[in-house]
Structure 1
Amino acid sequence: MLLAWDTIDRLNWGARGAHVATHQLVSATGQDIERISGEYQRQSHPINFSLPEQISKPIWKRRNQYGWALAYTQLESVFGAQADYLDIRPETSRQNILDNLDRAPIRRLYDAVRRHDTVVVDGNGDMIFKETPKRNLLADLALIELAHHLGKNIYYVNSIFADSSVTGRNETLARHCVDTLRKCDAVAFRDPQSRELYLELGGREDARCVPDSLFHWTDKLQNSRQHLPENGDFLIPYTQERDTYFGTLRFEEEYVCLTGGSRAAFTQQKASDGYCRLVERLQELDLPVYLVPTGAGDRFMYDVAEETGVPIVPAEVPILMGGAILANARLFVTGRYHPSIMAAAGGTPCVFLGADSHKTRSLQRMLGYDEPSVFSAIPSPEEHGDILDRCRELLAGGSAIRDRIQREAQARAEETEELATLIHGTDDQSR
């Protein structure tokens, strides 16, 4: 079995944690699993150049720096050279792969698909129909097309299916996604709203809804208080052992966590300014506030920490330690999806901020929130009062709310076991 994509080298907590959890779940099929690098989602590879890639690629990258490099790339482009093999049209991406097997990275991708009977693509948060498609998604679609061309069993799992909350729906991209997913043996979305939209756009009726793989870690995180050091100095990770982090985090006392979000990350300076004001208001709860950046997009939070003097948990902490911090907080204010699942494992109630899709609202449905609500990605001062009211309401709910959230998380965790059944059962039928 081939599992795409291996993203454990990314800073993002969702990319790190969800991939490991997905691997653990599909391992239950009993098949040997090869993981293909997520680098294919991020790293472009030029094609149709007359010179070898080790020469043409550096020249292409320097085209805006040197006139001779620009002239060379313009000349090559006349004869069909392109900056990347991926295209919004999945069939074109597939053909680009087949036509460029002399390029070593592309050949390695092709060979990985060719030597396996089953290909599992972990869609994670990729399938959002943004005006400018994420390269991650184009790579997903290309891999499905290639696997279909080679006659493989294909599973697209653990995926969102959503319009962009920023740019609306890219109709062309959505159509390509629906058409390409028809070539899979099975499709499983991670939340009901994704499946509902997929069916609305004419998707296959047998599409399933299997909760996000990260719920699989509920058992690990629900009683994780014992693993948290009282003195936060003991979790400061390599590369971040600086004076600014020492002596600031204490986990033997109650605390509130605040993280960023996929939509807040679009405007770093605006997010920094807005979060500074939000932190000041959250301090009215009379609990320590800890900033918890969970990926590169949350880098503005380091500026917030410096400006406000509020302690910050470095994003590089071990992923299960990060999950334990969230699972044992009294409250979590967040625009992030996977960190919210980690928090839910310990029953931590969340006040949700806007994201780049429906994910923070749909997650509340899955966790049994009575009245799902989402505040702005970067809350305005006018919203701060309502946010504080919501915080106080959740805090006042005490153990009753925590127990309810944790029960729902446990139920979702049990449902994730369907992933292995889906792959194994459909795979048997195809033989």
Structure 2
Amino acid sequence: MISIGYPVRCISVVNFTGFRANWGCQATSWGLVDLLNGAMPVPDLPHLRPVPLLGRNPADLAMEQQRDQIHQAIEDVANARPGADAGLRFLETLCTQRYGRYAQQVRHSDLVVLQAEGTMAGTDIVRGARLLLLPFVARHAWKKPVIAMNQTIYSCDDDFTRVLAAAYNSFDMVAVRENISFDAARRAGIRDVLHIPDAAFLVRPRPGGQGLATPGHFAVSGTAYEGAETYSRLIAIADHLRRETGLRPLVLVSASEDRALVDQARQLWGDGGFDTLPTEAPHSVVASVLQRCRFLLGGRYHMAIMAAAMATPVIQLPGNTYKNEGLSAMLDGLMPVRQPEDLAAITADAAAIMEAPDRARDGLRAAVAPLHDRLQVAAQYLAQLQQGETVAAPDLLRHAPGQAISASDHLPVYRANSIRRAEGFSYHGAAGVGGAPAPRDLFEARLDDLQAGDQGARSSLIQMMKSFPGAPERARPTLREAIYRLPLDLFRDARVPRPPSEDAQMRTLEDILRVCGPDLQVMCDRIVPGQPAPHRPRAADLAVHLATLREEFGGSPELLFYHAALITLIRRGQDDAAIAKFRALWAEMPDFLCARLNARWLVSACDTFADISRGSSEGTTALLGSVLINTVKLYETEREALGISDESANYRSMAGPPPLHDGLTAYGVGGGEMVGNLLDRIRVAALSGGAPGRIVGELLTRTMQAHTAYARLAPEGVRAACAVPPR
């Protein structure tokens, strides 16, 4: 049973790769977002804090030299051995030094998700203990719930396998994404392993993107398998299939190392002999293209998953680990991994696909359908965890689908391949952890998918806007304009400001008067278009803030927005003339404003008068209104935080006023005069305070009519005396 114990409001995803220019990384990371959100109500979507895989730099080389000490500390802490406290302090210091602001980000999250993907190998510190470091410290030093999922379990070092098992057994949940890892995890001694298919199976093709390919194409992707002739051999196989089938090659490459595949294709076929896609195309477009191709040839794991999810057959070649074999077993033996030299088997696979294309696609659909069912069950389970429920893992996730497969049968050759690849790793990268995600990476692909008709992109777009509320303001003009044109309900669900259109920006008093006009009476009669939007956080950009503010007054008289806009300018010190306009507004329209403004804006008016009239009787009177209402806010906030209801609070049962601090005693409910005297003094001050006095009197009346501490504790006569605003 797992229980976080409270609703999750912020999730950190460690090793989030969705911002990389790699289609497989995008598919699996954004698929993970969809999986986490899949059964969550939109209003409850948590903030998402991505932690990318940091590039190698000299700091990692220094950690590499401490690898044995790091491994020992992880095992000591995980197994509560002597020296565990010192080991944890050592790990926490390393973690905060290496991850910087990301460490603080994780420390303030409610849930940590480790998405190791296929990065875990144990060949070096970056692909081993450093990947474990942040979630491990979060679990043990910061007491955060940690789940590890969307990953292959793979280790090239027996010592690291032991460290991996110790760390994972201390996490709250561990799930693998394909069948060979299910066996590998158990052999490593990891307990209670779940099987949740790779989230890339949730990929959705962008509507209308199929035109970039035809059934006359077959797709070719790269492979991470090490070898000097890997790409030339792969293109030679593709050329053989081109001649055998009569299909045109479509070379799909996004990983930087796979670009040699395009070079090889160009050498063999020339620029006109094959097609390709721009590397900046998003993965949803790639899925659309794969949907139209007759089959895919290659060794990239996530490209194979995207093709299978589109019911496009795949002729798999070896990858960088045994995950491709695990994928085939999960699909009940479909898409077996072929060795590049086994041209006869590859040719036979292509011939079978060409001979009965519908049967090949139907077989894939039948094999993938149970995986989607499993992902749906997993989404419900993850939603229950995020909502703070105590829940056991579903039985369906406790066993692997498809065929059983042994990790030990496939490990030796892939271990040797991974170790060869690690020999070329460099530690000369730049120091630091990088900047915040670019608005383009956060919004563009999801916005384009939504506009193309993919309603499934809506939740992740809302979540990104909610998680990075200031990012739209940093977007380039065309993207910012596209965000502005999104439906207003999307901004309401995200509870974030909507960036203003370029031609509707307000930054100065002149801009506000251009929108509202100079005539106050006309503003009273004219209604702001639209429905009222909920209050949203203050935007740093003034134009964004004023545009959002105007939406809050949808359906209300324009004068109310004008009042709020003047206060905004005064608070931000933008225009001294706004002070004169504010005074003139209250001198001419006090009755209208007191009748139509809610308490939030009446208090804001008091605050403004207090700021612009410091040291005067007008400012002192205004301050009374601020103190009155903000005291009520603090008291009622504390009651909400403590869960105090009317039924549980019997004020008159106290046996005499208890002592407080510094000689004070509590108010004597039912007999004390303090409330009556205090409110009477406020009423007297309000009678002689000009416009601020009118506001204070109105606030006093509303305070006594509402369910507030003053109204609950005041004698009946005092409540009646405050029923009518002073004039």
**Interval of TM-score (by shorter of Structure 1 and Structure 2):** 0.7 to 0.9
1:135 is matched with 126
Does 2:234 match 1:275? yes
Per-residue Cα deviation, 1:192-242 (whole angstroms, up to 9, x for no partner): 2211221122210x210011111122xx23xx674322xx4xxxxxxxxxx
| 1:182/1:203 contact within 8 Å kept | yes
- Helix, strand or coil for the counterpart of 2:278? coil
Per-residue Cα deviation, 1:301-325 (whole angstroms, up to 9, x for no partner): 1211211223333333221111111
Deviation at 1:31, TM superposition (A): 4.6
Match of 1:111 among 97, 104, 116: 104
Per-residue Cα deviation, 1:116-171 (whole angstroms, up to 9, x for no partner): 22111112112335xx23724433310221112211111001111135xxxxx311
Match of 2:293 among 288, 306, 329: 329
1:37 is matched with 51
The structure number with the bigger radius of gyration is: 2
**Shift in CA distance, 113/94, structure 1 to aligned 2, threshold 3 Å:** farther
**Which runs of structure 2 are paired with 1:373-412 in the superposition (5 Å)?**
373-376=336-339, 379-380=340-341, 383-412=342-371
Does 2:327 match 1:363? yes
**In the aligned structure 2, how far is the partner of 1:14 from the partner of 1:134?**
23
**In the aligned structure 2, how far is the partner of 1:252 from the partner of 1:351?**
18
2:489 is matched with none
Match of 1:213 among 179, 185, 199: 199
User: What runs of 5+ residues in structure 1 fail to find an aligned partner?
Assistant: 48-59, 61-81, 164-168, 233-250
Of the structure 1 ranges 419-428 and 322-331, higher mean CA displacement relative to structure 2 is found in 419-428
**Which runs of structure 2 are paired with 1:195-234 in the superposition (5 Å)?**
195-204=182-191, 206-217=192-203, 220-221=204-205, 226-229=208-211, 232=212
**In the aligned structure 1, how far is the partner of 2:264 from the partner of 2:239?**
11
2:149 is matched with 157
Q: Higher strand proportion, which one?
A: 1
**In the aligned structure 2, how far is the partner of 1:212 from the partner of 1:321?**
19
**Which runs of structure 2 are paired with 1:310-349 in the superposition (5 Å)?**
310-349=274-313
Match of 1:99 among 90, 93, 101: 93
**In the aligned structure 1, how far is the partner of 2:299 from the partner of 2:223?**
4
2:28 is matched with 18
**In the aligned structure 1, how far is the partner of 2:268 from the partner of 2:390?**
59
**In the aligned structure 1, how far is the partner of 2:304 from the partner of 2:47?**
29
Per-residue Cα deviation, 1:325-352 (whole angstroms, up to 9, x for no partner): 1122101111011111111122111111
**In the aligned structure 2, how far is the partner of 1:386 from the partner of 1:315?**
31
Letter in 1 for 2:22: N
**Which runs of structure 2 are paired with 1:247-286 in the superposition (5 Å)?**
251-263=213-225, 266-267=226-227, 269-284=228-243, 285-286=245-246
- Helix, strand or coil for the counterpart of 1:275? helix
| 2:222/2:231 contact within 8 Å kept | no
Of the structure 1 ranges 138-147 and 411-420, higher mean CA displacement relative to structure 2 is found in 411-420
**In the aligned structure 1, how far is the partner of 2:58 from the partner of 2:36?**
30
Deviation at 1:274, TM superposition (A): 1.4
Deviation at 1:111, TM superposition (A): 1.0
**In the aligned structure 1, how far is the partner of 2:96 from the partner of 2:289?**
48
User: What runs of 5+ residues in structure 2 fail to find an aligned partner?
Assistant: 1-10, 75-86, 392-727
Letter in 2 for 1:213: A
**In the aligned structure 1, how far is the partner of 2:197 from the partner of 2:290?**
19
**In the aligned structure 2, how far is the partner of 1:225 from the partner of 1:3?**
28
| 2:147/2:173 contact within 8 Å kept | yes
**In the aligned structure 1, how far is the partner of 2:95 from the partner of 2:157?**
31
Does 2:160 match 1:178? no
Deviation at 1:87, TM superposition (A): 4.1
| 1:85/1:96 contact within 8 Å kept | no
**Shift in CA distance, 45/96, structure 1 to aligned 2, threshold 3 Å:** farther
Match of 1:124 among 103, 117, 121: 117
**In the aligned structure 1, how far is the partner of 2:95 from the partner of 2:312?**
50
**Shift in CA distance, 121/419, structure 1 to aligned 2, threshold 3 Å:** farther
1:243 is matched with none
The structure with higher relative contact order (CA 8 Å, sep 6+) is 1
Match of 1:352 among 316, 329, 353: 316
- Count of matched residue positions in the alignment of Structure 1 and Structure 2: 355
**In the aligned structure 2, how far is the partner of 1:101 from the partner of 1:83?**
11
1:46 is matched with 59
Match of 1:193 among 165, 173, 180: 180
**Which runs of structure 2 are paired with 1:293-304 in the superposition (5 Å)?**
293-304=253-264
| 1:275/1:304 contact within 8 Å kept | no
Q: Higher helix proportion, which one?
A: 2
**Shift in CA distance, 19/119, structure 1 to aligned 2, threshold 3 Å:** same
**In the aligned structure 1, how far is the partner of 2:223 from the partner of 2:190?**
29
| 1:178/1:203 contact within 8 Å kept | yes
**Shift in CA distance, 102/133, structure 1 to aligned 2, threshold 3 Å:** closer
Deviation at 1:288, TM superposition (A): 0.8
- Helix, strand or coil for the counterpart of 1:407? helix
Of the structure 1 ranges 403-412 and 116-125, higher mean CA displacement relative to structure 2 is found in 403-412
| 2:318/2:338 contact within 8 Å kept | yes
TM-score normalised by L of structure 1: 0.75
- Helix, strand or coil for the counterpart of 1:158? coil
**In the aligned structure 1, how far is the partner of 2:369 from the partner of 2:288?**
16
TM-score normalised by L of structure 2: 0.46
Deviation at 1:101, TM superposition (A): 7.8
**Shift in CA distance, 418/4, structure 1 to aligned 2, threshold 3 Å:** farther
